[in-house]
Amino acid sequence: MKPSQPIAHQPYLDVQAYVTKDRSTIRELMCPARHGNQAQSLAEAIVPAGKRTLLHRHLSSEEIYFIVRGEGLMTLGDTSFPVRAGDTICIPPGTPHAITAGPRQRLRILCACSPAYSHDDTELLEPEPVVVPRAPRPPRVRAGRPPTAKHVGAPIALNMQSGANFKAVRDSLGLGQAAFWKRVFVTQSGGSRYESGRNVPRSVMTLLRLVYTSPGDAEAFLARLRAPYQALPPVRVKLYRDARSGADLKALRKALGINQATFWDGLQATQSGGSRYESGRNIPASIRALVILVFGTEAHARQQLETLRDPASGKVGKPRPPKAPAARP
């Protein structure tokens, strides 16, 4: 239902993503149906690396693409040309178009439409690919490696701030208490306290959502975590790969040029908690594990996510022990 008064402010993290007709993942940042604006719409489109949107056209809307991140190949009418971050493309009404993401990085695009985007105004000019399901393969268990946990299809009980229902989630995955909580860097005794009703820290809750939800949900959630920090300047890999102590994280924050509140909110901690960490308080492993996910390059963040979900795939996700605090005079 359209709001009686236009909504002037839409926080990015409150926008749910969906797959549109051209097979890109869309977040409608401002649209008439939800926000009450009338003349135009603005959306974010994500095209995975190496993938292509279906050729389509909008019969009434003029559309403008602004490439925020990545590079690819734009098809516009009878022509094709390379595009990269910073480029702007105008798509007149009725013009067939599609875009292909480069092989190394997904494309992130801002799409402005006037009149506003409408499903009914979108005409596909090629059929959707037919996916033939493969027969399931029998599970393969390697010697000395515990079986990989299946993933919850949706974040069941993971949106709560209490761990009282985690035993049911853990049982549904067929995991013992130690194995379940170890994946998010929590001891068995700590996990037992959470299951008994102790509040779960934001950082642990975040890792639970990344590890135990479906792959698509985990990737979408990771994108939401990283989104507020996409425009920050690049920093040396060493600053976030080797960040273990409060001093290390303070150096990373200074290099990124952001204040304590913004930095520590990304790591799922309060500003006051972050201030104590920067002053020498031990940093929980769950927070250290989020550093690469939130502030690392996209490639490192995806590798970290893969390692968290499948510990046998690499060593990136294992946080190092904190440095011993320097002796005070």
Residue pLDDT, tens place only, 152-180? 444 444 444 455 567 777 777 788 889 88
- Assessment of whether the complete model's pTM goes beyond 0.85: no
As a whole number, mean pLDDT of residues 225-236 equals: 87
Q: Which domains does the chain have, with CATH numbers?
A: 12-124 (2.60.120.10), 166-313 (no CATH)
As a whole number, mean pLDDT of residues 101-128 equals: 89
Helix 285-295 with 202-212: angle, nearest 10 deg: 60
As a whole number, mean pLDDT of residues 122-151 equals: 59
**pLDDT reported for residue 58:** 94
In terms of average pLDDT, the best of 146-160, 260-274, 309-323 is 260-274
**Phi, psi torsion values for 262, nearest 5 degrees:** -65, -45
Sign of CA dihedral 153, 159, 160, 162: positive
Tabulate helix, strand, coil % of the chain (nearest 5): 35, 20, 45
Q: In which residue are the tokens 């009914």 written?
A: 120
**pLDDT reported for residue 197:** 78
The alpha helices in the chain, defined as continuous H runs, are 32-35, 166-173, 177-182, 188-195, 202-212, 215-226, 237-241, 246-256, 260-266, 271-278, 285-295, 298-309
pLDDT > 90: what percent of the chain? 33
pLDDT for 321 beyond 50: no
CA distance 167 to 191: 10
**pLDDT reported for residue 22:** 80
CA angle, residues 287, 213, 303, in degrees to nearest 5: 55
**pLDDT reported for residue 93:** 96
As a whole number, mean pLDDT of residues 206-220 equals: 84
pLDDT for 30 beyond 90: yes
As a whole number, mean pLDDT of residues 6-27 equals: 83
As a whole number, mean pLDDT of residues 119-127 equals: 86
The answer to whether 169 and 152 have CB atoms below 8 angstroms apart is yes
Indicate the average pLDDT of the chain: 82
Helix 298-309 with 215-226: angle, nearest 10 deg: 140
pLDDT for 279 beyond 80: yes
pLDDT for 147 beyond 80: no
